[in-house]
């Protein structure tokens, strides 16, 4: 299915928004879900049970929902962004064929600045700028 660049950008934006909302929900779930489990454990204890309060019900129910929904949103948003990247063009293929598909090359400082750290570079004055 061929998409126009505008469609890809829009879907990437929607995917990024979904991913961001999923991260926020995950943070909320890290607070609510454990607290909800504690309230449920206290309410179901055999010795000296404590009745569920409104906060206990809220954290138990919405903590579980936030945990599941955050996972779905994070994965779906990430997939949506990755599935709508820019298409490979003929120029990209030609460059890969000419230069290889490696994304990184080794960085050799001496090949770019052969005298950068040499004391003779600044004439012994202690400054590179003259």
Note the pLDDT tens digit of each residue in 26-35.
999 999 999 9
C-alpha angle with apex 91: 79 to 96, nearest 5 degrees?
75
Torsion of CA 21, 78, 85, 94, to 10 degrees: 150
Can you give the pTM of this predicted structure? 0.62
**CB of 109 closer than 8 Å to CB of 40:** no
Domain extents in the chain: 5-95
Q: What is the pLDDT of residues 1-44, one digit of tens each?
A: 677 888 888 998 999 999 999 999 999 999 999 999 999 999 99
């Amino acid at each position: 299915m061929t998409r126009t660049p505008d469609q890809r950008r829009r879907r990437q934006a929607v995917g990024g928004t979904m991913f961001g909302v999923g991260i926020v929900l995950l943070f909320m779930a890290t607070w609510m879900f454990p607290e909800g489990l504690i309230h449920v454990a206290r309410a179901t204890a055999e010795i000296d049970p404590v009745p569920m309060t409104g906060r206990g019900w809220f954290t138990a129910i919405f903590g579980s929902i936030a945990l599941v929904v955050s996972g779905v949103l994070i994965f779906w948003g990430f997939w949506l962004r990755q599935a709508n990247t820019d298409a490979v063009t003929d120029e990209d293929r030609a460059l890969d064929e000419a230069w290889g598909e490696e994304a990184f090359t080794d960085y050799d400082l001496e090949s770019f600045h052969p005298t950068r750290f040499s004391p003779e570079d600044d004439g012994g004055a202690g400054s590179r700028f003259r």
